[in-house]
């Protein structure tokens, strides 16, 4: 699908116009078009072929003809015109948190700033601060923003890395025409961020596979290409990331997979165990003296050490080897255990999917239910619902549910936790809902612990949404004591969210395990806003598994009826003196 590609072109136009100081309404039209395309479920090329582009809300004749132009020619004249005279590096500056297009335009015109290096220079020599309307403080904040941006770029988000790895592995497999090719490293362990992508291959056709890697269209630079190993830098966003490909013999594939999956700490512990048993483990196999005891399959490697196979998500030396020895590994939650999604948005607030579209997508995931949790009125930036609009949505949900068989939309809300710790809807409004997520979206540094604890005491609140508030791309999160909040959830019989969005993965693995140990259920939500949302559950699941979660630790492994029983039981208990 070209949807995303065209969305990127529209965003680029908006950015260019913004830097040039064009009027806001022009810019907004392109931004909106970009968002619509980015999150649209249907293939834009199909819509264009059917002459249905203009049926899409927010796409008029002008935009439609630009889309058609791009589909036909691979270019858009408007994009070239808008970017004319602007150095490419300027666009990257828009990624600096706290640096807007107006300032970028000003720095470009007044000081000739054309990229990050220039920007750092004009901050250092004071010339940026000296510009009209700037000042020391603003310049200082921009410098901080540069730091945040660069830190975020040191590692890829899990979701980004997974997408790249799948794409490249598919290319390599095509070239190999057989054999085994698999991702290892932190990606296989489903870490929330990934330093570099490690791929192992056991193929006959090594030369063709190396050719496919070095010739891949996203490769920017080839660092090494030998008989046993190749490394390339590929383009991601505005940076570069490394992909390492290693070739191994078929009868060592399992051992190599084990070795290069890591983590280093897990491997060190494993080698110690092997030594105690008079064995040696390396990337070629498990050896007793010269005799090779295992190597072809990873399971055999663990078996030779007297262990059951350990799922990659557990391999962090957090007690998994000891537990494996005792035969007490957790039975980690799996995709098929998930019966519904607990956190989705629709067009009623800031989502891109209509209610019926959301229902279709969630049903296609094999679920029995999905809770629509649009924002509440205080989240004005996100089109938060008033009680009246929530009620109207409820009626719409009832009507839709009457038509659906074997699937239900649950009436929910993502209600704002206000600065004073009350929530954004009065109790009678919440009482009519099937599921209530309460989240902090403002005053991140103000009494967040106390506010969340107060929200948990509200009898209608079921779960705290994205409890740490961090963004992996570079936002620190709330000033919150999660241990205390998790304890409050235990006392009130409430759940904590594991938000599957690739920039959140919040709670993280460490706090998930803490919640599990306290018996606090985790609700895995995707925070779906567009068509690509539902599938994000896999990253939530990866994180859940890293947190040692089992089926019984997760709320949405219950059926819709089970979920209702869980809520009722809690209410009943609370009523007892
Ligand atoms: P990353 O890339 O920073 O997200 O993390 P990893 O875990 O993918 O680390 P990476 O790419 O440096 O190495 C991949 C795996 O290879 C690592 O998890 C364990 C193994 N490995 C690499 N170097 C060593 C080493 O010096 N000793 C041991 N035992 N294992 C290593
Ligand atoms: Ca790696
Ligand atoms: Ca590596
Ligand atoms: Zn939220």
SS (H, E, C) 243-283: EEEEECCHHHHHHHHHHHHCCHHHHHHHHHHHHHCCCEEEC
Is 312 close to ligand 1, i.e. is its CB under 6 Å away?
no
- In this structure, the strands spanning 239-247 and 193-194 are unpaired
d(CA 375, CA 441) in angstroms, rounded, equals: 10
pLDDT tens digits, 204-256: 989 999 999 999 999 989 999 988 899 999 988 767 889 999 999 999 999 99
Domains assigned to the chain: 3-150 (1.10.150.110), 156-247 (3.30.460.10), 255-325 (3.30.210.10), 335-571 (3.20.20.140)
Q: For ligand 1, say whether the CB of 547 is within 6 Å of any of its atoms.
A: no
Question: Which residue owns the Cα nearest ligand 1 atom 5?
Answer: 186
Q: Best of 185, 241, 284 to mutate for ligand 1, by most ligand atoms within 8 A of CB?
A: 185
What's the helix, strand, coil split of the chain in %, to 5? Answer: 50, 15, 35
Q: Residue 147 belongs to what H/E stretch?
A: helix 136-154
**pLDDT band at residue 575 under the 50/70/90 scheme:** very low
What pLDDT shows up at residue 238? 62
The response to whether residue 283 sits with its C-beta less than 6 Å from ligand 1 reads no
Closest residue to atom 13 of ligand 1, CA basis: 185
Q: Does the beta carbon of 274 sit less than 6 angstroms from any atom of ligand 1?
A: no
Task: Select, from the ranges 134-138, 140-144, 146-150, 245-249, the one with the highest average predicted confidence (pLDDT).
Answer: 245-249
Cα separation of 292 and 399, whole Å?
65
Q: What is the structure's pLDDT at 548?
A: 98
What is the number of the ligand closest to the CA of 155? 1
Closest CA to 460 of 502, 420, 432, 496: 432
Ligand 1 lined by 97 (C-beta under 6 Å): no
Indicate the pTM of the whole model. Answer: 0.81
Cβ atoms of 203 and 178 within 8 Å: the answer is yes
| Nearest ligand to the CA atom of 382 | 4
| Cα(270)–Cα(309) distance, integer angstroms | 12
Residues less than 5 Å from ion ligand 3, measured at CB:
196, 198, 244
Contact by Cβ (8 Å): 320, 266? yes
Give the end-to-end CA distance of the chain in Å, rounded to a whole number. Answer: 59
User: What tens digit of pLDDT does each residue of 15-52 get?
Assistant: 999 999 999 999 999 999 998 888 777 899 999 999 99
CA 286 to mean position of chain CA atoms = 37
> Over the stretch 61-112, which tens digit does the pLDDT of each residue have?
999 999 999 999 999 999 999 999 999 899 989 988 888 899 999 999 999 9
* Among the listed residues 255, 277, 259, the one whose alpha carbon sits nearest the alpha carbon of residue 268: 259
CA of 358 to the centre of ligand 1 (A): 40
Using alpha carbons, select from 63, 77, 72 the residue that is nearest to residue 31.
63
Is residue 468 within 8 Å of 498, Cβ to Cβ? no
């Amino acid at each position: 699908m070209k949807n995303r590609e065209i969305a990127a072109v529209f965003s680029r136009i908006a950015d260019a116009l913004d830097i040039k100081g064009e009027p806001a309404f022009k810019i907004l039209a392109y931004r909106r078009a970009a968002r619509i395309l980015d999150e649209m479920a249907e293939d834009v090329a199909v819509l264009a072929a059917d002459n249905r582009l203009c049926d899409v809300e927010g796409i008029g004749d002008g935009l439609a003809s630009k889309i058609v132009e791009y589909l036909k020619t691979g270019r858009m004249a408007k994009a070239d015109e808008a970017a004319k005279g602007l150095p490419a590096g300027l666009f990257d500056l828009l990624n600096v948190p706290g640096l807007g297009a107006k300032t970028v335009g000003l720095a470009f015109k007044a000081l000739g700033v054309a990229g990050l290096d220039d920007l750092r220079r004009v901050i250092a020599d004071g010339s940026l601060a000296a510009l009209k309307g700037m000042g020391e403080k603003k310049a200082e904040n921009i410098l901080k923003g540069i730091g945040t941006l660069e830190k975020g770029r040191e590692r890829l988000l899990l979701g980004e890395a997974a997408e790249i790895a799948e794409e490249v592995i598919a290319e390599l497999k095509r070239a190999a025409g057989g054999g085994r090719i698999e991702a290892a490293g932190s990606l296989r362990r489903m870490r929330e961020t990934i330093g570099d992508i490690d791929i192992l291959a056991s193929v006959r056709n090594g030369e063709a596979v190396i050719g496919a890697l070095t010739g891949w269209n996203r490769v920017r630079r080839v660092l090494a290409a030998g008989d046993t190993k190749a490394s390339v830098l590929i383009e991601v966003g505005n940076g570069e990331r490394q992909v390492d490909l290693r070739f191994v013999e078929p009868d060592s594939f399992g051992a190599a997979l084990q070795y290069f999956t890591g983590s280093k700490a897990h491997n060190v512990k494993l080698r110690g165990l092997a030594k105690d048993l008079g064995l040696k483990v390396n990337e070629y196999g498990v050896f007793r003296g010269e005799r090779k005891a295992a190597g072809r399959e990873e399971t055999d490697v663990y078996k030779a050490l007297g262990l059951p196979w350990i799922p990659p998500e557990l391999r962090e030396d957090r007690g998994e080897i000891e537990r494996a020895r005792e035969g007490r590994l957790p039975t980690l939650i799996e995709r098929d255990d998930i019966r519904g999604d607990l956190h989705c948005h629709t067009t009623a607030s800031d989502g891109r999917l209509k209610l019926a579209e959301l229902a279709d997508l969630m049903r296609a995931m094999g679920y029995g239910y999905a809770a629509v949790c649009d924002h509440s009125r205080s989240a004005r930036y996100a089109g938060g619902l008033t009680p009246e609009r929530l009620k109207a949505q409820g009626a719409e949900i009832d009507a839709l549910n009457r038509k659906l068989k074997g699937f239900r939309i649950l009436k929910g809300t993502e209600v704002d936790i206000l600065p004073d710790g009350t929530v954004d809807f009065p109790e009678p409004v919440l009482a009519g809902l099937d599921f209530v997520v309460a989240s902090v979206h403002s005053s991140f540094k103000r009494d967040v612990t106390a506010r969340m604890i107060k929200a948990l005491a509200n009898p209608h609140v079921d779960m705290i949404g994205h409890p740490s508030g961090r963004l992996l791309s570079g936002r620190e999160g709330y000033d919150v004591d999660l241990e205390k909040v998790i304890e409050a959830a235990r006392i009130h019989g409430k759940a904590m969210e594991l938000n599957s969005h690739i920039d959140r993965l919040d709670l993280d693995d460490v706090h998930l395990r803490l919640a599990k140990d306290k018996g606090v259920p985790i609700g895995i939500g995707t925070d779906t806003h567009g068509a690509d949302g539902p599938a994000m559950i896999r990253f939530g699941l990866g994180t859940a598994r890293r947190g040692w979660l089992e089926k019984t630790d997760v709320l949405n492994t219950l059926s819709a009826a089970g979920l209702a029983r869980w809520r009722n039981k809690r209410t009943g208990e609370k009523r007892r003196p």
